[in-house]
Amino acid sequence: MTYSSKLKKRSRSSTRAYASAPTRTRTGSAGGRSTWLILVFLLLLMLAAVWRWYEGRSSAQPDTANLSVLAGQATVTRADAGTELALAAGHSASLQRGDAVQTSAEGSAKLTLSGGETLELQGATRVSVLELYREPVTRALVAVFALHEGKTVSRVRHGMFQGMRYEIEMNTATVKARGTAFRCDALANDHAYVLVYDGTVDVSMGQQAVTLQPGQALDIWLGQTLTPQDTGLAVPGGPPEPTAPEIASTATYTEREKTLFVPATTPTRLGDLPATPTDGELYTVQKGDTLYSIARKFGLSLEDVWNANKDVLPRPELIRAGQVLRIPR
């Protein structure tokens, strides 16, 4: 075979090999394009799902709270209809932004938020719901109340690091909770009282701002300096939560029993009977008084006055006008 023949044979072999190569290349390229198309399609589906999720959380979500009447009566004023709803002990209602509740003089109620936080209302207390919603995206709870008058105890179980906002606004000051249990009293237009049982609370009045630690209290007077006081009343988790009182059965007497057993008169409220001083004097609680202000009036500590009256005052926040207390020497 001549040299030219060998070259022609190699040329024909190379041509056949080259002719078959494009078929393999086209097959590999088509498979790669299909894989990329599938990946792009899946990515678009994921983006669409994320967008729908974000779109559903891009606006605030209105929330509600449940009001339970524990004693006496409570009146709910609806913001949307301007109507009033009277509730007796054992009944409940749902509250939303703009609604207000007023307890009777001998009443008590509890407002429970969707996150488990509670606001306990004592007698003659009026509260309005200023804000009640879930934040966009994070769905953190925002609850802002206006305390017009009366006494409340708040229990905030979730900390501020979770994005929650819980505030009570009064005429004198604004109280912001950070995972805490605290008492807040609106005593007059220019007078308020805040006591922290657990956690921390930020209190602001105008340009002044202080942070209260467990056991600290503020006797707030409009325009005066905010000065925290130690009370020794730090209580982990706060004082015992109120419960609906049990209704006792009414005893009756036969004609003969009436001559044998004279029914005793029992006070229906704490402090109805005057306390008998064993060592000290008696003081009748006036409107606007707190246990702390009474203690200061007599140069005593809050704990001294409370210890002398625990038989008629199991919790300091139960103090009321007209009650008779012992003032120890």
Question: What is the full DSSP assignment across 36-72?
Answer: HHHHHHHHHHHHHHHHHHHHHHSS-EE--EEEEEEES
| Residue range 91-141, pLDDT digits in tens | 999 999 999 999 999 999 999 998 889 999 999 999 999 999 988 878 888
Question: Is the residue at 40 inside a domain?
Answer: no
Interatomic CA distance for residues 304 and 323, integer angstroms: 17
- The stretch 170-188 carries a mean pLDDT of 91
Boundary residue ending a domain (230, 264, 298): 230
Mean pLDDT in residue range 255-277: 39
Is the pLDDT confidence value at 265 over 50? no
Look at residues 81, 63, 69, 196 and name the one whose alpha carbon lies nearest to residue 134.
63
pLDDT at 3 over 80: no
Give the strand pairing for 165-169 and 141-155: parallel
- Do 160 and 294 fall within a single domain? no
CA-to-CA separations, 66 to 36, 117, 171, in angstroms, rounded: 53, 11, 25
Mean pLDDT of the chain: 78
In a domain, 250, yes or no: no
Q: 266 and 207, same structural domain?
A: no
Domain with 268, as residue range(s), is 255-328
Residue 160 domain flag? yes
Q: Which residues, 6 or more positions from 270, have their beta carbon under 8 angstroms from its beta carbon?
A: 312, 313, 314, 318, 323
CATH number, position 259: 3.10.350.10
Distance of CA 220 to the CA centre of its chain: 22
Based on the fold, state whether residues 171 and 273 are members of the same structural domain: no
The yes-or-no verdict on residue 179 having pLDDT over 90 is: no
Any domain includes 184: yes
**Does residue 155 have a pLDDT over 70?**
yes
Whether 167 shows a pLDDT value over 90: the answer reads: yes
Is 209 among the domain residues? Answer: yes
User: According to the model, what pLDDT value does residue 46 have?
Assistant: 83
Kindly state whether residues 83 and 225 are assigned to the same domain. Answer: yes
Q: Which helix (H) or strand (E) holds 3?
A: helix 3-57
282 with 211, same domain? no
Confidence grade of residue 315 (pLDDT, cut at 50, 70, 90):
confident
Per-residue pLDDT, 28: 57
- Whether residue 308 lies inside any domain: the answer is yes
Band (pLDDT 50/70/90 cuts) for residue 318 is confident
Asked if residue 174 and residue 106 are part of one domain, the reply reads yes
Tell me: do 290 and 151 sit in the same domain: no
- Cα–chain center distance at 192: 19
Residues 175 and 72 reside in one and the same domain: yes
* Mean pLDDT within 277-288: 76
For the chain, the domain total comes to 2
The CATH number covering residue 70 comes to 2.60.120.1440
Considering the domain architecture, whether residues 72 and 220 belong to the same structural domain is answered as yes
What pTM does this model have?
0.62
